[in-house]
Amino acid sequence: MRATLIHGERDIRFEQVTDPILRGPTDAVVRVVASCVCGSDLWPYRGVRPTEEPHRIGHEFIGVVEEAGADVRTVAAGDFVIAPFAISDGTCRHCRHGITSACEHGGFWGEPDENGLPVDGGQGEWVRVPLADGTLVAAPSPDPAQIPALLTLTDVMGTGHHAAVCAKVGAGSTVAVIGDGAVGLCAMLAAQRLGAERIIAMSRRPDRQQLARAFGATDVVAERGADGVLAVTDLLGGIGADAALECVGTKESMRQAVDCTRPGGTVGYVGVPAGGPVLPIGYLFSKNIGVVGGVAPVRTYLPELLSDVLAGDLEPGRVFDLELPLDQVADAYAAMDERRAIKVLLRPAS
């Protein structure tokens, strides 16, 4: 088969690799129907996270089970499945608490499993799935139009939802969202779904501002820093937001989130840390501001979000504004790196 490997800074290649096989009774092999490029994939692409040697990349995919191990009970050959970005067994102590992204026996796509065996990245033609029962979620064979929305459930929709849940967004909440990428946009959609009354999108790009409003934003603030904080507080009657959703991962974005939050409010953060975010502990202490978040346990959220997608009540698929065949994956990375695309959907190459 062929799969995507990163060789170094801005060096993405679609290459011939060994076909995946079942390596244990809890494995499954999935034929990928659609995958995508994530904003967090850009950190190694840009060299922020060095690539020591070529390796598989990609962690969001949906597909069809081709083969299942002898001990797999929840999915079978022919099932359409959604694969969260983290591998989990569903039974360990952390999974039982709902934090599947910290599974004691799990891991992540493209990294060796707990037995030291290689695990495929998601941007390939097939993927070996360890711990298939705990990881994969079966869904009805979708209408082609549902593919983009279902693909968001592997990461960005669940991650945006995690930011909103951590920040205690509920009916009547006022929310400021820092970041207008796919996760930030999905966080706006999540905030709307949870009943937020006012959702402020911090965005400078007209195309993303338009999608933000379609996803529930009631206001848009283009300013940053102190000017951005002033604009948010002016919109909210002189105080900050009940909840700020940090969806970028830099020092500047975290400070923006903190400063936009009212005393007693909460920052929900899901941006993968890059650039050394630092929390102003003294300020948080004096204002009673909570900061909660981390790696989203997407597998935990998947059933409820899937139900809404299948019912037509949740439509996050519009974050994909470019679609390419998988053999043009290098172009997909470049488009996102240059901000010519919000998020790129990859279909199997012909």
Query: Which CATH number belongs to the domain containing residue 278 in this structure?
Result: 3.40.50.720
114-117: long-range contacts (C-beta < 8 A, 24 or more apart)?
Answer: 115/24, 117/23
The answer to whether residues 182 and 322 belong to one domain is: no
46-66 pLDDT, tens per residue?
A: 998 899 999 999 999 999 999
pTM here is: 0.96
Q: Which domain holds residue 75?
A: 2-155+297-347
Per-residue pLDDT averaged across 230-240, rounded? 97
Question: What phi, psi does 313 have (nearest 5°)?
Answer: -90, -10
The answer to whether residues 283 and 304 belong to one domain is: no
**Domain termination residue (choose one: 276, 293, 310):** 293
**For 317, which DSSP code?**
G
Please give the pLDDT value at position 115.
86
274-289 pLDDT, tens per residue?
A: 766 679 999 999 999 9
- Please list the residues that pair with 117 across neighbouring strands: none
Q: Cα–Cα–Cα angle for 137, 310, 61, nearest 5°?
A: 40
Confidence of residue 178 (pLDDT cuts 50, 70, 90): very high
The answer to whether residues 148 and 163 belong to one domain is: no
The answer to whether residues 88 and 219 belong to one domain is: no
The answer to whether residues 122 and 209 belong to one domain is: no
* Three-state secondary structure call for residue 56: strand
Structure tokens at 106: 């799990």
The answer to whether residues 341 and 329 belong to one domain is: yes
Q: CB-based contacts of 10: which residues, under 8 Å, 6+ apart?
A: 45, 46, 47, 333, 334, 337
Q: Is residue 191 over pLDDT 80?
A: yes
Per-residue pLDDT averaged across 287-301, rounded? 98
The answer to whether residues 275 and 134 belong to one domain is: no
The rounded mean pLDDT for the chain is 96
The answer to whether residues 289 and 267 belong to one domain is: yes
Please give the pLDDT value at position 25.
97
Q: Cα–Cα–Cα angle for 115, 110, 101, nearest 5°?
A: 75
Cα–Cα nearest to 133, from 96, 99, 87, 102: 87
The answer to whether residues 86 and 162 belong to one domain is: no
Number of domains in the chain: 2
Per-residue pLDDT averaged across 194-200, rounded? 98
What H or E segment, with its residue span, contains residue 283?
A: helix 281-287
Confidence of residue 95 (pLDDT cuts 50, 70, 90): very high
20-48 pLDDT, tens per residue?
A: 999 999 999 999 999 999 999 999 999 98
Q: Is residue 305 over pLDDT 90?
A: yes
Cα–Cα nearest to 121, from 280, 263, 12: 12
The answer to whether residues 114 and 165 belong to one domain is: no
The answer to whether residues 55 and 141 belong to one domain is: yes
**Domain termination residue (choose one: 259, 276, 293):** 293
Cβ atoms of 340 and 23 within 8 Å: the answer is no
Please give the pLDDT value at position 275.
67
CATH of residue 85's domain is 3.90.180.10
Q: Is residue 350 over pLDDT 80?
A: no
> Rounded to an integer, what distance in angstroms lies between the CA atom of residue 196 and that of residue 188?
9
Cβ atoms of 348 and 35 within 8 Å: the answer is no
- Checking DSSP bridges between strand 126-129 and strand 61-68, what pairing results, if any? unpaired
Confidence of residue 201 (pLDDT cuts 50, 70, 90): very high
Q: CB-based contacts of 315: which residues, under 8 Å, 6+ apart?
A: 149, 309
Per-residue pLDDT averaged across 163-186, rounded? 98
What H or E segment, with its residue span, contains residue 302?
A: helix 298-311
The answer to whether residues 114 and 238 belong to one domain is: no
> Rounded to an integer, what distance in angstroms lies between the CA atom of residue 172 and that of residue 32?
40
Q: CB-based contacts of 252: which residues, under 8 Å, 6+ apart?
A: 224, 225, 275
> Rounded to an integer, what distance in angstroms lies between the CA atom of residue 122 and that of residue 342?
19
